[in-house]
Structure 1
Amino acid sequence: MSACCLAVSAAFGQTAATSSVAPTNSSPWDVAATAGLTLTRGNSKTLLGVAKITGDKKWDAGKNELSLDADGAYGESTLNGREQSTTEQLHGFAQYNRLFSERFYGLLRIEGLHDRIADINYRITASTGAGYFFIKETNDILKGEVGPGYIYEQDHGVPNDTTHSYAILRLAERYDHKFNPHAKLWESIEVEPQVDKFSNYIVNSEIGIEAQLTKKLSEQTYIQDFYHSDPAPHRLKNDVKLVAALSYKF
């Protein structure tokens, strides 16, 4: 099956205050929007659409950071006249960081997920904790986060849906590296074990590269892996997504 994915990314921010207005140390929002579409025709007909919007803001001389993310994907296929959904997912998170020093910060995070194919009606994860920048340089940033959290989830079931909740320990890290002004790499891993049953855990990971083609156009390729050791009945533990996209910056 052949597939192609195109994405357009737009970022904008507000201009600096005029001389008639007292200057502030609040920086503008950085907003990016991405959309992609995959189509195949022939022995089978498939459709896959993805969309994503992110927003990041720093203020108070960089001591406060807020990150917002919302993304979704929908896919369907038709084979021998039979149509079925292959992807139906909505996901989003909000995270607030408060820096107490150049490297140490506290955080609050809330995340939501709906995945009909994985039989997850909804999963809400709330967590807090502390983070630390092990490396904070121009071309390299490595940070880790740890703290308690809580998951509230409802899985689709027959004849009845099942709801469960439990406390977790959230462990996360992210690394960003710039090879040069035109190429960069990133990777992240997040592990969330149930505190009273470590055999039940969730692992989310991502690794990707970006190569700048022109001043505004770049190519991104990344892999996302979502693993749940105790999935909904009759569902696989692992979901992997490979994305190749073009990104345009205004």
Structure 2
Amino acid sequence: MRSTPSFVLIGTLGALLAGSALAQSQPDGVLRGSLGLGASLASGNTKASSLSLNADAVRETAGDKITAYGRALRTSAKNQATGQSETTGDQLRAGGRYDLNFTPTVFGFGGLDLERNKFANLKLRGLASVGAGYHLIKTPSQSLDVFGGLAYTADRYVAGTVVGDSATPRTSYSYASLLLGEEYAQALTPTTALKQRLVVLPNLKDRGEYRANLDLGLAVAMTQALSLNVGLGVAYNSDPGAGIKSTDSLFTTGVTMKF
């Protein structure tokens, strides 16, 4: 039997999801951002496609800082032999944070984050947070912040699931939590930058349960406007609901355009 040839086309313009390098921040009041778009297409025995969007923006002065981000990923696959097609990935994350410097080293913050992940049974998650942080290191080439506070999470699920302190399936679940985190950035060379962020959210309603998010990103500048990015995002939920895995991870590569 003659085999069916396969053809793969991959086009990428942008960093994909969490872990990609954010827009560079300088305390001059100028809005800076980065934008990326990624796509892939495969045909042959299996027809598959993916589309991703990544955007970051930051505006910083000597007294405050505003940051915003958006991430979207959608993938689908179709079996050419059976004609069956299905969505294999559907994720969306967006949010922003406002930081106010009380002193050169101490700051307060308030943030709002939204998330959707169909395959984690998450129809919509809203997270509002407030707290304070400390600049342990803040130089032009290196920074390290630690922060903590309180957060309130409101989850809505695609299908009812057993989660929290309920023995019966529920379609929504809201709770307060602590927020503990750190964020590190370093210019390894004049053209290479590393960023890392860890946030842990211990549940105050259902003690012993918690969520955690780890983002890693490495960016290598190709031109003044374009950078090659490699990213890893890991999300952990100790109580994701019945039949749902606790850990989601995503490895990404792409090219980011800055403005």
Residue 230 in 1 paired to residue 239 in 2?
yes
Match of 1:116 in 2: 118
Counterpart of 2:67, as a letter, is S
Are 2:12 and 1:6 equivalent residues in the alignment?
yes
Give secondary structure in 1 for the equivalent of 2:120. Answer: coil
Letter in 2 for 1:182: T
Corresponding residue number in structure 2 for 1:44: 46
Q: Report the AA paired with residue 168 of structure 1.
A: S
Is contact 2:75-2:90 (8 Å) kept? yes
1:86 is aligned to 88
Match of 2:165 in 1: none
Aligned to 1:18: none
2:256 corresponding residue in structure 1: 247
Aligned amino acid, residue 214 of structure 1: T
Aligned in 2, Cα 1:248/1:33: closer, same or farther, shift over 3 Å?
Answer: closer
Residues in 1 aligned to 2:243 and 2:252: alpha-carbon distance in whole angstroms: 26
Alpha-carbon separation, structure 2, partners of 1:127 and 1:8: 28
Q: Which residue of 1 aligns with 2:19?
A: none
Runs of 4+ in 1 over 6 A off after TM superposition: none
Single out whichever of 153-162 and 208-217 deviates more from structure 2.
Answer: 153-162
Once residues 246 and 232 of structure 1 are traced to their aligned partners in structure 2, the CA distance between those partners, rounded to angstroms, is 35
Counterpart among 28, 31, 52 of residue 29 in structure 1: 31
The 1-side partners of 2:208 and 2:180 are apart by 15
Tell me the secondary structure at the aligned position of residue 156 of structure 1.
strand
Task: Compute the displacement of 1:158 (Å).
Answer: 5.1
After TM superposition, the score normalised by the length of structure 2 is 0.83
> CA-atom RMSD, angstroms?
2.4
Q: Tell me, in whole angstroms, the C-alpha distance in 2 between the residues paired with 1:8 and 1:196.
A: 39
Tell me which residue corresponds to 1:22: none
Residue by residue over 1:96-141, the C-alpha shift from the partner in whole angstroms, topping out at 9 and shown as x without a partner, is 0000111110000111111111111111111100011111112110
The structural deviation recorded for 1:41 is 2.2
Report the TM-score, using the length of structure 1 for normalisation: 0.86
Q: Distance in 2 between matches of 1:129 and 1:5?
A: 41
Instruction: Supply the distance in 2 between the matched residues of 1:125 and 1:141 (Cα, whole angstroms).
Output: 25
Q: Does residue 1:67 correspond to 2:67, yes or no?
A: yes
Secondary structure, aligned partner of 2:245: coil
* Distance in 2 (alpha carbons) for counterparts of 1:46 and 1:196: 42
**Cα offset, 1:85, TM superposition:** 0.8
| Residues 102, 108 of structure 2: 8 Å contact kept | yes
8 Å contact kept, 1:5–1:244:
no
Gaps in structure 1 of 5+ consecutive residues: 13-24
Q: Deviations over 1:153-180 (max 9, x none)?
A: 1112259861111110011111111112
Supply the AA of the counterpart residue of 1:154: R
Partner residue of 1:15? Answer: none
For residues 197 and 3 of structure 1, the distance between their equivalents in structure 2, rounded to whole angstroms, comes to: 47
Q: Distance in 2 between matches of 1:137 and 1:203?
A: 28
Say if 1:83 and 1:6 are closer, same or farther in 2 by CA, change over 3 A.
same
The alpha-carbon distance between structure 1 residues 51 and 129, as it changes in their structure 2 partners (threshold 3 A), is same
Q: Are 2:182 and 2:197, in contact at CA under 8 Å, matched by a contact in 1?
A: yes
Report % sequence identity.
Answer: 21
Which shifted more, 151-160 or 125-134? Answer: 151-160
Shift of 1:233: 2.6
1:185 aligned partner? 194
User: How far is 1:52 from its partner?
Assistant: 1.9
Contact 2:35 2:256 in 1 (8 A): no
Instruction: Give unmatched runs, 5+ long, in structure 2.
Output: 1-5, 16-21, 162-168
